[in-house]
A = this chain, B = another copy of it.
Amino acid sequence: MFKKRISIKQVEEGRHFSPKFNSEGLIPVITTDFKTKEVLMHGFMSKTALKKTIETGEAYYWSRSRKALWHKGATSGFVQKIKDIRIDDDQDSIWISVDIGRGASCHVGYKSCFYRSLPIKKKNIKLKFKEKKKKFNPNIVYKGQPNPTKL
């Protein structure tokens, strides 16, 4: 499925799909809501995750905390149906637009993982919540599972 990277012209201006994975074998992924266009999450895909995403039309990631292939929504039910996949100029990052229906994307319970904003041109930074209400209760949905957030 992936073509060899031969020249800069081929990578930047060609029609060959030649994704570049980092030293850990991963490629960063931006996930947006195809309706509202808001950014839902930032994740990583392994080669297998990227292949499965393209083949099935549903988003698969590599979970760095669990060190495992991760079918997004397998536990929560909030599967991400792919509406569009893009690759960037040097083919080392992916952008997917997804349909999550009325679901959510963030393990904390918010719709987007980016639920907090920070002020510009200020010394003393206090984050501001942009989503006021959680979409689900993570203590119920992810009951008994370890929190993926690491200090």
Binding site for B on A (CB under 8 A): 1, 5-8, 11-17, 28, 30, 32, 37-39, 41-42, 54-57, 82, 84-90, 93, 95, 106-108, 110, 113-118, 120-123, 125-128, 130, 147-151
| 7 intermolecular pairs with C-beta atoms under 8 Å apart | A12-B108, A13-B108, A15-B126, A37-B38, A41-B88, A85-B120, A86-B118
- Per the bound structure, the CA–CA distance linking A16 and B125 in Å amounts to 7
**Shortest distance from the beta carbon of A147 to any chain B beta carbon, whole Å:** 6
Q: Do the beta carbons of A56 and B121 come within 8 Å of each other?
A: yes
Q: Do the beta carbons of B54 and A118 come within 8 Å of each other?
A: yes
Q: Do the beta carbons of B88 and A113 come within 8 Å of each other?
A: yes
- Per the bound structure, the CA–CA distance linking A88 and B30 in Å amounts to 12
- Per the bound structure, the CA–CA distance linking A122 and B39 in Å amounts to 26
Q: Do the beta carbons of A89 and B118 come within 8 Å of each other?
A: no
Known contacts A89-B115, A95-B114; 7 additional CB pairs below 8 A are A1-B123, A1-B125, A12-B108, A41-B88, A85-B117, A89-B149, A93-B113
**Shortest distance from the beta carbon of A115 to any chain B beta carbon, whole Å:** 7
Q: Do the beta carbons of A114 and B127 come within 8 Å of each other?
A: no
CB < 8 Å: which of B37, B39, B87, B125 contacts A116? Answer: B87
Q: Do the beta carbons of B54 and A86 come within 8 Å of each other?
A: no
Q: Do the beta carbons of A42 and B28 come within 8 Å of each other?
A: yes
